[in-house]
């Protein structure tokens, strides 16, 4: 197959290529353990479902709140981090595309309202961002005839992409936890969750053919939405001396209301054809879904070391429409119909982590942790315009806590990494434009690389 301008696949492939380049800038909606809460829980990588012992239990295991020894008001650990997402060879051999960002991660504020209700009940509260961030990502590919397959019959190819957006998922809730006997605790947290996201993509493709003809494609698309939902987290906790265990169940979200808008504008000018489409749609119906999850964990004393192990399974979310717009007809050609919507889908995921606390003295502890935050996206996922990051993230951290006056101070550092083959990427240098399908050697495919470095500082104070 030859990519002649008159047949126009080269420009179409380029637009698809740049649309994919923009994707790494979106939120990690396909990951669930990206953020941790509470000073100790953060140092342990969140592997505290069966061992949490402070007010971060409002999130990690509501059943443990009534048995927690430390019910101080907590301002969760502040984490300064630097993230980088790179698409190796994304612009061709030897041309990497990507972005980096830095800043403070979202945190939690939590505490108790009543700690002796009905002889063993505790009422607590918590507020936190499950995800929050912004993106500003751009890429440029400029390739001459010497860099292109001669069968393309192209002398120059230029593409520019810009992606920008912001996202947030804020949870606020009340927890009730009750102590049962001398070993057990049960509890539940009800959350009101507010999800919002906006994104905008702009791309420009310019192609000059060997016969002197040219083509230009402009593609601008964007939208935003907000969604309000309810969800609950239920937990049970048991302790026998220093050994503890717990289980949790988090319900899918129940939509309360939502609205969004979508817009697009594209224009294609070629020697033998012109295409043009434009649409702005507002007050669109929105539904944002989150999966059922089940978690379990244990805390086991091993001499001077206390081991913490947790795992959490997340159910799949079948394909669904997040923002539903109306299909439009292009201005030219009028017979061309364009769907206007945003879709999402994730597979089931199992995350797990392990952490260790080393007791150095009564006022000083050391921490080590490792956890996996696996992506809900796989090679089989085809309908996901909210999440495109397919890599599984592994994170290792070390830290310490120590007492200073009335406060417990926390310090730590961490490093996270991940990579995955970008099999769905369309490569304009490959005949047929499908270089990275599952049945093709991975040697022909660009690779996502993810790197994260963080510095952690936190404290707990009694109020």
Q: Is 36 helix (H, G, I), strand (E, B) or coil?
A: coil
- The secondary element (H helix, E strand) that includes residue 110 is strand 108-117
User: Helical H runs in 107-157?
Assistant: none
What are 86-90's contacts with CB under 8 Å, separation 24+? 86/448, 86/449, 86/450, 86/451, 87/21, 87/24, 87/422, 87/446, 87/447, 87/448, 87/449, 88/446, 88/447, 88/448, 88/449, 89/446, 89/447, 90/21, 90/139, 90/422, 90/425, 90/446
SS3 311: strand
Domains in the chain, CATH or no CATH each? 9-461 (2.40.160.60)
Q: Where is mean pLDDT largest: 27-31, 48-52, 338-342?
A: 48-52
- Average confidence (pLDDT) over 132-152: 70
* Mean pLDDT along residues 46-57: 93
Residue 50, Cα to own-chain centre: how many angstroms?
Answer: 25
pLDDT digits (tens, 9 = 90+) for 145-201: 777 767 777 888 887 777 777 888 999 999 999 999 989 999 999 999 999 988 888
Decide if 259 contacts 285 (C-beta within 8 A). Answer: yes
Beta strands at 305-314 and 293-302: parallel, antiparallel or unpaired: antiparallel
- Please report, for residues 38, 91, 213, 372, 440, the alpha-carbon distance to residue 312 in angstroms, rounded to integers and kept in the order given: 18, 37, 57, 11, 33
Higher pLDDT, 381 or 63: 63
Lowest mean pLDDT of 59-73, 76-90, 413-427, name the range: 76-90
Task: Write down the pLDDT at residue 186.
Answer: 97
Percent helix / strand / coil, the chain, rounded to 5: 10, 60, 30
Q: What percent of the chain has pLDDT over 70?
A: 78
Q: What letters, b where the CB count within 10 A reaches 16 and e where it falls short, cover 263-294?
A: bbebbbebeeeebebebebeebebbbbbbebe
pLDDT of residue 21: 35
Q: Give the C-alpha separation, 393 to 416, whole Å.
A: 6
Q: What do you get for the CA distance between the two ends of the chain, in Å? A: 72
DSSP one-letter code for 381: -
- Lowest mean pLDDT of 3-12, 167-176, 291-300, 404-413, name the range: 3-12
Radius of gyration of the chain (CA): 25
Kindly state the average pLDDT of the residues 333-352: 91
Beta bridge partners of 458: 410
């Amino acid at each position: 197959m030859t990519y002649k301008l008159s047949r126009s696949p080269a420009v179409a492939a380029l637009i698809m290529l740049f649309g994919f380049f923009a994707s790494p800038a979106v939120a990690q909606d396909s990951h669930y353990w990206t953020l941790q809460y509470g000073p100790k829980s953060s140092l342990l990588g969140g592997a505290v479902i069966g061992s949490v012992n402070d007010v971060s239990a409002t999130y990690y295991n509501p059943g443990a709140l009534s048995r927690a020894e430390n019910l101080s008001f907590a301002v969760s650990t502040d984490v300064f981090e630097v993230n980088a997402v790179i698409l190796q060879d994304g612009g061709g051999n030897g041309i990497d595309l990507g972005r980096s960002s830095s800043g403070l991660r979202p945190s939690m504020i939590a505490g108790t309202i009543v700690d002796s209700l009905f002889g063993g009940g505790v009422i607590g509260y918590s507020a936190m961002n499950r995800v929050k961030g912004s993106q500003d990502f751009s890429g440029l590919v400029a390739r001459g005839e010497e860099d292109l397959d001669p069968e393309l019959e192209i002398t120059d190819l230029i593409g520019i992409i810009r992606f920008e957006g912001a996202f947030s998922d804020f949870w606020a809730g009340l927890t009730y936890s009750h102590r049962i006997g001398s070993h057990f605790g049960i509890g539940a947290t009800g959350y009101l969750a507010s999800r919002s996201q906006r994104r905008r993509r702009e791309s420009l493709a310019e192609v000059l053919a060997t016969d002197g003809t040219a083509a230009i494609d402009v593609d601008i698309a964007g939208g935003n939405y907000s969604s309000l939902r309810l969800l609950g987290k239920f937990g049970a906790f048991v302790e026998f001396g220093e050994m503890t265990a717990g289980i949790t169940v988090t319900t899918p979200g129940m939509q309360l209301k939502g609205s969004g808008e979508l817009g697009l504008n594209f224009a294609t000018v070629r020697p033998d054809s012109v295409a043009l489409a434009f649409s702005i749609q507002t007050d669109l119906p929105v539904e944002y879904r989150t999966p059922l999850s089940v978690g379990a964990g244990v805390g086991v004393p091993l001499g001077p070391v206390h081991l913490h192990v947790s795992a959490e399974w997340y159910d799949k979310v079948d394909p669904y429409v997040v923002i539903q717009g109306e299909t439009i007809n292009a201005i030219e050609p009028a017979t061309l119909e364009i769907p206007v919507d945003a879709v999402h889908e994730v597979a089931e995921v199992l995350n797990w982590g392990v952490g260790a606390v080393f007791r150095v003295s009564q006022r000083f502890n050391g921490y080590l942790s490792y956890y996996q935050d696996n992506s809900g996206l796989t090679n089989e996922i085809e309908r996901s315009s909210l999440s495109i990051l397919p890599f599984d993230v592994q994170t290792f951290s070390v830290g310490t806590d120590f007492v200073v006056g009335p406060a417990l101070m926390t310090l730590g550092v961490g490093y996270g990494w991940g990579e995955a083959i970008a099999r769905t990427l369309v490569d304009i240098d490959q005949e047929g434009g499908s270089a990275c399908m599952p049945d093709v050697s991975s040697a022909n495919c660009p690779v996502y690389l993810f790197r994260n470095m963080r510095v952690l500082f936190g404290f707990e104070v009694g109020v």
